Structure 1
Amino acid sequence: MDNHDSYEQHYFCHHTDMPNLDNGDKIIMPLSSLDRLTSLKIDYPMLLETLNPKTGRVSHCGVLEFTAEEGNIYTPRWMMKNMGLEEGDVVLIKSASLPKGTYIKLQPHKKEFVELSNPKALLEAKLRNFSCLSTSDTIMLMHNNKKFYIDVVQTKPGFVISVIETDCEVDFAIPLDCTEPENQFDRRL
């Protein structure tokens, strides 16, 4: 696609053992993509749509740096899993323009997350490593060397939102492993 206002490129997708890559939604792209992205009239900060052409699964992300080998990108492992991508699969990257988020509803996989001393403050700190959230994605947050998986149940004002420099209202759904009645769970938050 040779549209002067959008970016669209296929890459081979990989994960890396960079310590902080899995702690957010940012990817590593080749330097040539920076040249192309900066020459376009795209919205900043740079937000991208990622598409697995085999499955049709879509996610969204930001860019951490432009140091990947030509033709390759590096993504967080949790993002590859969400999209059904295997090491070396082809992924389509497109520029995206997303609304600023106002509301997020999250469902932790384990009640242990909401039993932490202040899960909302922890979430606020960890979401600084994210550029956007997509309804139906499962994100991973690392805290005290423990991985917490959290489903994004709902986002407003759209199905996908930017969480950069925005103040979102956050609600938690009952954790997947919780057996308590809903009213008891709500009082603990």
Structure 2
Amino acid sequence: MMQFLVYLQFIDGYHRTSSFEQTYRCYSASFIEKPEIENGDKIIMPASALDHLAFLRIDYPMMFELTNGASERVSHCGVLEFTADEGTIYMPYWMMQNMLLQEGDTVRVKYSSLPKGTYVKLQPHTKDFFDISNPKAILETTLRKFSCLTTGDTIMVTYNNKRYYLDIIETKPAKAISIIETDCEVDFAPSLDYKDLGKPNIADETQNKGKFNPFFGTARRLDGKPIPAVYSSRHKNKHVPNVNALSSTTSPSGGKLVFGSNFYRTKETGKEEMEPKREPTEQKKPKFQPFIGRKYSLRN
């Protein structure tokens, strides 16, 4: 009878433990033959962690909060399997770079329950990401290997043996969200190397302010009636949009990715649409010219 009561207290003690928090030494995927973990946000944990988590009332799939105490960097991840050596975890190298971790550094792993995401805003590092033929499909394929997203992290997208990095600058409804079995709206911010050519030059504006503009003002009639404003050709040119400048900025500054619609629209209209159609010119009729013809004589 006493052994039965002790067993109940032992099980009840695990049920009262409402959280999982352990400190491990982290290593990248290069230490094991698991290169596939580089394409997602899942880590490999030891088997003892699974034994502990089995007695907790947790939600599946399991997600964890990672904390680097030295740099105070916080991120979130999922778990792929429980085959790591005791006291160690293996994680993607890009995730270690996000958290400023070196091989063998300690990281705190804590179980976390994240809300399902509804919105995420991404910012590519380079504008080359927008040149991908189908970024919607590439992004969908990449995010299927992720379980959660955290504001402030940088994720990696691989396409044609080229790596593209995207910053997560906003997530809703929380700073860390789950993207498993949820409809999440994705928005894009201008890339980090994007330059807005449409902004006015501040130096030119300051120079123009100091110049003297003759006959600059408003005219008045003697009868008090208003006079429509008349601008010179010099001022009109300032307000005319530069078509060449607008067409040269072909890279998008940002946009919303709506699944099921075309992400890219036609960037340049054809020459046939821009050039007006020329009407066929009428053939000119010959004018009447008098005294034109051959000469004849009555003698012969």
Q: TM-score range by the shorter chain?
A: over 0.9
More strand by share: 1
Q: Is 1:39 matched with 2:55? A: yes
| Distance of aligned partners of 1:181 and 1:31 in 2 relative to their CA distance in 1, 3 Å threshold | farther
Q: Distance in 1 between matches of 2:18 and 2:169?
A: 31
AA aligned to 2:29 is: T
Question: Is residue 16 of structure 1 aligned with residue 29 of structure 2?
Answer: yes
**Is 2:146 the counterpart of 1:133?**
no
State how 1:109-148 maps to structure 2 within 5 Å: 109-148=125-164
Alignment check: 8 A CA contact 1:24 1:141 kept:
no
Offset, 1:179: 2.2
Q: Which has the larger radius of gyration?
A: 2
* CA apart distance, 1:42: 1.1
Count of matched residue positions in the alignment of Structure 1 and Structure 2: 188
SS at match of 1:142: strand
User: What RMSD over aligned residues (CA atoms) do the two structures have, in Å?
Assistant: 1.8
Give the secondary structure class of the aligned counterpart of 1:147: strand
2:48 partner SS:
helix
- The answer to whether 1:178 aligns with 2:194 is yes
Is the contact made by 1:22 and 1:140 (CA closer than 8 Å) also made in structure 2?
A: no
Q: Contact (CA 8 Å) 2:121, 2:186: kept in 1 or not?
A: yes
What SS does the corresponding residue of 2:128 show, helix, strand or coil? Answer: coil
User: Where do 5+ consecutive residues of structure 2 fail to align?
Assistant: 1-13, 199-248, 256-262, 265-300
User: How far 1:127 sits from its partner (Å)?
Assistant: 0.2
Runs ≥4 in structure 1, deviation > 3 angstroms?
180-184, 186-189
Give yes or no for contact 2:115–2:177 (8 Å, CA) kept in 1.
Answer: yes
Q: CA deviation at 1:121?
A: 2.1
Higher relative contact order (CA 8 A, sep 6+): 1
Indicate how the Cα distance of structure 1 residues 23 and 181 shifts in structure 2: closer, same or farther if over 3 A, else same.
farther
Distance 1:42 1:142 in 2: 33
Aligned equivalents of 1:181, 1:5: Cα separation in 2: 55
CA contact (8 A) 1:27 1:73 kept: yes
1:105-136: CA deviation from partner (whole Å, max 9, x where unpaired): 00011111121112122111110110100001
Query: CA separation in 2, counterparts of 1:128 and 1:186?
Result: 23
Partner of 1:154: 170
Deviation at 1:75, TM superposition (A): 0.7
The answer as to whether partners of 2:46 and 2:84 remain within 8 angstroms in 1 is: yes
Distance apart, 1:180 and its partner CA: 4.3
TM-score, L = length of structure 1: 0.93
Alpha-carbon displacement from aligned partner over 1:5-28 (angstroms, at most 9, x marks no partner): 210000001001322111110001
Q: Of the candidates 64, 71, 88, which is equivalent to residue 55 of structure 1?
A: 71
Counterpart Cα distance in 2 of 1:8 and 1:89: 17
- 1:26 and 2:42 equivalent? yes
Amino acid across the alignment from 1:165: E
